[in-house]
Amino acid sequence: MVIRHAEKPDSYNGEQYFGVNATGTVYGKDAAKHLVTLGWQRAGGLVLLFTPPWGAQKGLGTPQFLYAADPDSKNEATDSGSGSKSEAPSRRSYETLTGVATKLRLQINTDYPKKHCEKMVEHALKRPGVVLICWQHEEIPLENADKLPGISQWILSKTGTTSTLGVPRSWPMANGKARYDLVFVFYRPAGTGPIASFAVIPQFLLPGDLGWPV
């Protein structure tokens, strides 16, 4: 399962939101790499979506392994899989999974900077159970922002899946903005071999969340 990190500093319903860290000690323009309050609400809502006693919701699974982009890495080395340099780190992917991690008593794997998707996918596919990945949206669909393979394409190619199974080529939009309220789900019941099927599951966690397709 792959999700985008929760809401970042931007304008929502005509209101400007700035970032804030988990303890409220970093906020405003100093918190540009953190979630906004709406994002923290979504992060809490993911507990209802993925974990007992309410979750996992239909079509989803309770994660056994969690991955988020490295929130601290300042590595600027070129990734051989993407061809582009790593960007400045953001804490949003990690923050988005903290509620789920706490509820399930799991560690979040943050070994991979956000442009090092190929290596992260290779590691995730070897885990013996349900995986939840949280990343920046530009890297998730078949193509990333550089028109190179995204996380979804790496999942398909690394499992020997020859069809795209309907995976979106770019991240879905609504009202001119990239959506925060979706889960990409790659079903692989055997645990090995090709992906058997794919689905986009709407989260329906916050007001304004939409169905799929719109």
Per the structure, the complete domain to which residue 165 belongs is given by: 2-202
Asked whether residue 95 is assigned to any structural domain, the reply reads yes
Asked whether residue 211 is assigned to any structural domain, the reply reads no
Asked whether residue 90 is assigned to any structural domain, the reply reads yes
pLDDT value of residue 87 = 56
Asked whether residue 213 is assigned to any structural domain, the reply reads no
The string of pLDDT tens digits covering residues 6-16 is 999 999 988 89
Closest to 133 (Cα-Cα) out of 170, 172, 82, 183: 183
Band of residue 55 on the pLDDT scale cut at 50, 70, 90: confident
Asked whether residue 152 is assigned to any structural domain, the reply reads yes
Domain holding 166: CATH number? 3.40.50
Domain count of the fold of the chain:
1
Band of residue 21 on the pLDDT scale cut at 50, 70, 90: very high
Q: How far apart are CA 140 and CA 71, in angstroms?
A: 17
Asked whether residue 207 is assigned to any structural domain, the reply reads no
Asked whether residue 74 is assigned to any structural domain, the reply reads yes
176 pLDDT higher than 80:
yes
The string of pLDDT tens digits covering residues 88-131 is 678 999 999 999 999 999 999 999 998 999 999 999 999 999 99
The string of pLDDT tens digits covering residues 60-98 is 999 999 999 999 866 534 333 434 444 567 899 999 999
